[in-house]
Structures are given as C-alpha cells and as structure tokens.
C-alpha cells in the first residue's frame, strides 16, 4: 500500500543539536559502547551485570531455549535492595543524601543512604512480622512520600513482589489489581496532598477490600501522612506504620535471591484498553535500569542532583525513581504534589532549591508549561541543569525545542527516551555525550538493544520509510510474562511477527536511519488510501504559535475512509476567534501537505488523559464516531469527556 511513502515524507525537521563539548569529553558512555555491544551483545550485557553486587556472579547470560520466555543471568543470585542501599553505605557513602523529599504543603526531609538502610531494614522486619514471605505479593497504594520507596525496597529485600497501584485510582481499579495479583498485604497511607488538600487513600482501600476476591488480604499497613481524623479502622487487619515499623530493629540481613526471582508486577497505563499485569524479575531488570540510567542521564553520583517527576505508580517511577538511580547511588528529589500548587512555578522553584542537574519528565507536562507561559520558568535559576529527559508519548518537535530553550537555557541536550512498562527500561534514546539530537526523535537503540521498523510482511523497511516498531533480540529487563496469563503474553507481543517483539507503536526511519515514533498502531489514520500518523498532524498543530496541545483521531468517513478530526488546546493568550480553524487547517496543509489537513478542528479546554498524562485518543475516536466510550478506568477525569461531547453536536 501507499502507507510507507506517506508515513515517511510528511514531517520535515531539520534542526540539529550537537552534544556540548564539555559533556562529550567527560561522558559516562561514548560511541565505543555501540561498537562493543554490536560485536558481542551478550558479552556487553554480562559486562553491565557486573555493575551490580552479586552474592553469586552469574556464569550464564541469556537462556533463550524456550522463547519468548527469557531467563537472564539465571544462575546468579543477588538482593536488589542491598544493591540499591547497603552497598553504597559499605562503600563509604552512607552520608550521601539518597532522597530530598519535598511534600506538597512544603514539609521537607532529606534521607541519607545510611538512614535509608535503617528505614528499609525496619520495614523489611515489619513485613516479615506480618507474615510476608518470599513470593507473597504486596499491594502498595501510596502518595509520593519516602515510605513508598522504603516499602518497595523492603519488599525487594525480602523477595516479596510488589504491585504498586497509582494513588489516584478508584476502589474498583485497586480491587481489580489486588485480585489479579492475589495480594496478601496492602501498604497505604491515610491520604496524600493533592492541589493543596489532603486526599484520602485509606478509605479507597477499605472500599476495595469490601469487594469479593480480595479476602486474602490479611493486613493493611497505614502510614500517617495527612492526619485526617475520619479514618475508619478494621481491628485485626489495619495497623499504623508508626506502631509496627518504628519499633523494629534497624538491622536486617538481606538474603540473596535467584536472578529470575519476581521483583514486581505493574499494570500498564490502559491507553489502548484493559491494563496488563506486567511481570519483571530481579537481575536482568536491575542490570538494565542501572546501565541505562548511567548512560542516558550520564549520572555522576558525587555531583549530580537528579529529579524524575513521574509518579512511582508508573513504570517510570519504578525504574527511574527507585531502582535505576538508587542502584547507581544517586541523590534525587522526590516531590509529592502537582506542578501548579501553590503556583505554576513550583517545579522550577524546587529545581532551583536543590540545584537539580538532571531532569526527567513527560511531554504532557512540558506542553502544559508551554501553555502557562515562558515567563514562569524564567523567574528561577535553572542554570545547574545539564540534561533533560522526556518519556511517555512522542514529544512534538516544538515542545522539545521549548523544553531545551526555556528549561535548559538552550544548552542542555534533550534525550527523548522510548520504552514501555513491558520493556522495563529505556530502549531507544540519544546518548547525551554522543548523539547529535533531532527534536522529536528518539533516534537510536541504546547499546545492546536491537530495534527496527518493519512492514506488514515483517520486512525491515528502508531508510525514509515507516511501519511497525519491533525489537529483534531479547533484552535483560524485558517483561517475563503477563501475570498469570502466558497466553496473553504470547498473543499481545509475539503473535504479530515471528520471533520479534511487537511494541504496538508505529515508527519510521529517516534518511539517516534514525527512529521517529509515530504513535500507537491503533491510532494511525487511513485517509483516502494514505496512512497518516496522528503524531505528525499533532506536531504540525503544536508548531502553530496559538496551539499548546493537540489530539488527532481518524473518524470513519463515507468518502475518504477516515477523516482527520483534531482537538486543540490553545496557548494562554490565544482566543478562539473566527478565522482560527481555517488558519490552523492551512498551517497543517502547509507543513504536511493538503492530504493531512484536518476535516474538523475543535478547540477544547482539556483533553482526556490517562492518569500518567497520556492522551487517550481511543476515547476521542469513540466520541467522533458517536459510540459509547470504551474502558475509562484509567482516565483522569471523566467530566472532560462530557465537555468534549457537548462541543460535538451530532458528531458522526
């Protein structure tokens, strides 16, 4: 079909940014890593595994005798929490701050590695006292506070896989995840602070545990965070953290587990449908999160201050707040609240206060800051920043350039990192000291990673063409299965193409062979026989000075097959005047060609997003095609959909 040429030739982005010479000169990882990994991929990963402290060093790297069920470093034994905490203390870095915690109301706490070791030991002893044994699942439903990280590490320490459920989810979502993982203990808090108010968590757990299928939960451990008084209590089940954890010994001897011991279950965001319980294990996962954090963020643990703004309830929080940075001995910021509480400069104020050098956030946050205005970050001293990361969705070139200019002072590399809950760690990303970056492109698979773009028949596409993103070799932090459902693992990821992992994302290779993510395969539009990527039309809209955010879907159309339907959020000062829609259509036509001009453009106040901030195009498609909405369990705010529906009289 004509898909390849149209996918490939739409977007033209010629801006290039070379790595700053000082960064290139001292970078943790240089171009040589690609060559070493290329000549001996497994040898390269065996070398990376030696970043970790093993009780028993693995002699085997990959067992792929039963594909697609991988075993990495199978005869090695290690303790993940020991690697993230104790070994830094033993190496003489106990006084280094691990976590600078900033609560939304302004309370703060800095925790050194030595303190973290004592806290994690106490929590591990407490969980053991509650009868948690290696292999038992622990559900975690918490705000962004230090106890959350401590709980995850305590679980890892005793070999109990955690299942972290995002603190904004409803009782139904919590219950479904508790049931699916058959959790035995729940760790939660009375509440957390969101937008200046305490919001309850314990009441949601109570409601979840009243539902059938959750009877195996025998204890609920509750951190007092907000001090709300109306907390109901189930005797014999509910326990205060301060009653149980504080009296424990602050010593705990970590036991080593096999490299393939389960570390956690985490459900995907639900952007495309019902979330999947992704299983990650210990040795391979920790190897790759530690390596990628070292390589992509160029972490210098003695001098850097790192901040990942994700919630720990998402994979980004697991891999790049907890396991990667702590395995590397980083000093990091943990912030509880929202970016605009109490004012729209809160993030930049925090970055200035702690002298943040490495920042990792999502395109949705960057576009929101663009909407709020350039003058807000300009009020703060962000001069210590040296690398900016992006993850979660394709980043529109205009947002990328804004991020670099207004947050990074036009000096810092921006690394657009592509990966998924399933991949466990970053897979495709520039290296800040090596890659000449291109706004909007994740560009190159990291050393040791094999990714490419294929057509419908699984043939690799030539440079300049588009298709499906696939991973062609197993990688250490790959998911091991979908929890309790091997068949879904096979069907979702390994059935589309033989021996290749199907990521579900569309992508193209540019003339240099660099990879551009084009959004989900389900989101690609077919207009008059041409495949058009939602991402590219959105990026064209966002490159117009009046547009801050855009979401594009294909709605079925009697004449063109699908018609492009765009929902846009305007920038702070722009208004929805008469000529605007025509102006935007013309702008898209000029940037991408007349075929890509949206048939309808609707200015809206908000877009439907998952709780991790991703645009849920499938719901907009449901609206545009006059259907009942699909699964909305991971949607932030269902009122958004009512507003949008109200704007679309008789859409079809």
User: CB of 354: closest distance to ligand ATP in angstroms?
Assistant: 25
CA-CA distance, 491 to 505, in Å (whole number)?
A: 16
User: Closest CB to Mg ion among 60 and 522?
Assistant: 522
| Separation of first and last alpha carbons in the chain | 27
* 8 A C-beta contact, residue 533 and residue 506: yes
In the set 386, 614, 617, 621, which binds ligand ATP (CB under 6 A)?
614
- The residues in 439-498 that bind ligand ATP, with binding defined as CB under 6 A, are 442
The first and second tokens of residue 322, run together, are 């907890």
CB of 178 to Mg ion, least distance (A): 22
77 is in an annotated binding site: no
Q: Taking contact as CB under 6 A, which single stretch among the options 268-276, 543-551, 565-573, 642-650 is the one that binds ligand ATP?
A: 268-276
Question: Taking CB under 6 A as the rule, does residue 269 contact ligand ATP?
Answer: yes
Residue 520 touches which member of ligand ATP, Mg ion, none, C-beta under 5-8 Å by kind: ligand ATP
Q: Tell me if 348 is assigned to a ligand binding site.
A: no
Query: To 10 degrees, what angle do helices 202-209 and 171-181 make?
Result: 60
Query: Cα angle at 365 between 359 and 291, to 5 degrees?
Result: 35
Q: Quote the least distance from Cβ 252 to ligand ATP, whole Å.
A: 32
DSSP labels for 239-302?
Answer: EEHHHHTTTS-S--PPPPEETTSEEEEEE---SSSS--EEEEESHHHHHHHHHHHHHHS---TT
- Restricted to residues 520-539, the positions that interact with ligand ATP (CB under 6 A) are 520
Q: Is 630 in the site for ligand ATP (CB under 6 A)?
A: no
Q: Which of 48, 271, 452, 543 binds ligand ATP (CB under 6 A)?
A: 271
Whether residue 237 is annotated as binding a ligand: the answer is no
| 566 touches 600 (CB < 8 A) | yes
With respect to ligand ATP, which residue has the nearer C-beta, 272 or 287? Answer: 272
- Cβ proximity of 88 and 113 under 8 Å: yes
CA distance 226 to 198: 6
Rounded to whole angstroms, what are the CA distances from 155 to 160, 173, 255, 398, 468?
A: 5, 22, 12, 42, 37
542 marked among binding-site residues? yes
Residue 466: in which H helix or E strand, if any? strand 466-471
The least CB distance from residue 519 to Mg ion, in Å, is 12
> Which among 120, 101, 343 is positioned nearest to 225, based on CA atoms?
101
Residue 329 or 440: the one with the smaller Cβ distance to ligand ATP is 440
622 binds ligand ATP (CB under 6 A): no
Task: Pick one of 206, 311, 416, 514: the residue that binds ligand ATP (CB under 6 A).
Answer: 416
Rounded-to-integer distance, Cα 508 and Cα 572, Å: 33
Q: Which residues bind Mg ion (CB under 5 A)?
A: 268
Binding partner of residue 105 among Mg ion, ligand ATP, none, CB under 5 to 8 Å per kind?
Answer: none
**In the bound complex, what is the minimum distance in angstroms from residue 2's beta carbon to Mg ion?**
27
Which residues of this chain interact with ligand ATP, rule CB under 6 A? 268-273, 275, 315, 391-394, 416-418, 420-421, 442, 503-505, 517, 520, 612, 614
Binding site listing for ATP: 392-394, 416-421, 505, 520
Binding site listing: 194-197, 316, 392-394, 416-421, 505, 520, 528, 542, 544, 547
């Amino acid at each position: 079909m004509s898909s390849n040429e149209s996918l490939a030739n739409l977007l033209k982005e010629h801006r290039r940014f070379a790595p700053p010479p000082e960064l290139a000169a001292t970078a943790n990882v240089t171009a040589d890593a690609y060559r070493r990994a290329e000549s001996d991929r497994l040898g390269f990963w065996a070398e990376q595994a030696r970043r970790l402290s093993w009780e028993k060093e693995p002699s085997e790297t990959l067992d792929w005798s039963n594909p697609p069920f991988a075993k990495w470093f199978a005869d090695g034994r290690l303790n993940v929490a020991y690697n993230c905490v104790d070994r830094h203390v033993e190496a003489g870095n106990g006084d280094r701050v691990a976590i600078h915690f900033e609560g939304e109301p302004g309370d703060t706490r800095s925790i050194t590695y030595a303190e973290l070791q004592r806290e994690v030991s106490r929590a591990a002893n407490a969980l053991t006292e509650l009868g948690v044994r290696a292999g038992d699942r622990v559900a975690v439903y918490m705000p962004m506070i230090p106890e959350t990280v401590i709980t995850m590490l305590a679980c890892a320490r005793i070999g109990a896989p955690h299942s972290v459920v995002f603190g904004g989810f409803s009782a139904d979502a919590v219950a479904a995840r508790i049931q699916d993982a058959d959790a035995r203990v729940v760790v939660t808090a009375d509440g957390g602070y969101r937008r200046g108010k305490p919001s309850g968590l314990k009441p949601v757990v109570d409601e979840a545990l009243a539902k059938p299928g959750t009877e195996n939960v025998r204890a609920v451990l509750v951190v007092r965070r907000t001090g709300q008084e109306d907390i109901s209590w189930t005797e014999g089940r509910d326990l205060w953290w301060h009653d149980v954890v504080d009296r424990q010994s602050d010593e705990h001897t970590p036991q080593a587990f096999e490299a393939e011991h389960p570390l956690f279950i985490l459900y995907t965001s639900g952007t495309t449908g019902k979330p999947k319980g992704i299983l990650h294990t210990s040795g391979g996962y920790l190897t790759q999160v530690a390596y990628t954090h070292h390589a992509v963020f160029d972490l210098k643990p003695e001098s850097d201050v790192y901040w990942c703004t994700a919630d720990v309830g998402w994979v980004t929080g697991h891999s790049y707040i907890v396991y990667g940075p702590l395995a590397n001995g980083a000093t990091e910021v943990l912030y509880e609240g929202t970016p605009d509480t109490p004012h729209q400069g809160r993030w930049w104020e925090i970055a200035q206060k702690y002298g943040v050098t490495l920042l990792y956030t999502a395109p949705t946050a960057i576009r929101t800051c663009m909407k709020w205005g350039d003058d807000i970050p300009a009020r703060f001293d962000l001069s210590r920043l040296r690398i900016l990361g992006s993850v979660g969705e394709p980043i529109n070139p205009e947002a990328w350039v804004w991020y670099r200019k207004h947050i990074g002072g036009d000096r810092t590399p921006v690394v657009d990192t592509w990966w998924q809950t399933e991949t466990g760690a970053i897979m495709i990303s520039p290296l800040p000291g090596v890659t000449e970056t291109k706004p909007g492109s994740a560009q190159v698979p990291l050393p040791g990673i094999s990714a490419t773009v294929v057509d419908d028949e699984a043939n690799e596409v030539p440079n300049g063409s588009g298709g499906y993103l696939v991973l062609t070799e197993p990688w250490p932090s790959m998911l091991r299965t979908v929890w309790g459902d091997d068949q879904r693992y096979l069907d979702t990821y390994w059935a589309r193409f033989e021996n290749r992992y199907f990521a579900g994302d569309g992508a193209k290779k540019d003339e240099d062979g660099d990879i551009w993510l084009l959004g989900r395969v389900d989101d690609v539009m077919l207009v008059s026989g041409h495949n058009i990527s939602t991402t590219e039309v959105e990026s064209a809209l966002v490159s117009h000075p009046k547009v801050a955010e855009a979401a594009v879907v294909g709605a079925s159309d009697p004449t063109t097959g699908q018609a492009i339907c765009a929902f846009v959020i305007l920038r702070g000062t722009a208004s929805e005047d008469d000529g605007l829609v025509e102006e935007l259509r013309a702008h898209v036509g000029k940037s991408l060609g007349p075929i890509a001009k949206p048939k309808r453009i609707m200015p809206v106040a908000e877009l439907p997003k998952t709780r991790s901030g991703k645009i849920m195009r499938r719901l907009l498609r449901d609206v545009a095609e006059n259907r009942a909405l699909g699964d909305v369990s991971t949607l932030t705010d269902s009122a958004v959909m009512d507003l949008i529906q109200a704007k679309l009289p008789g859409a079809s």
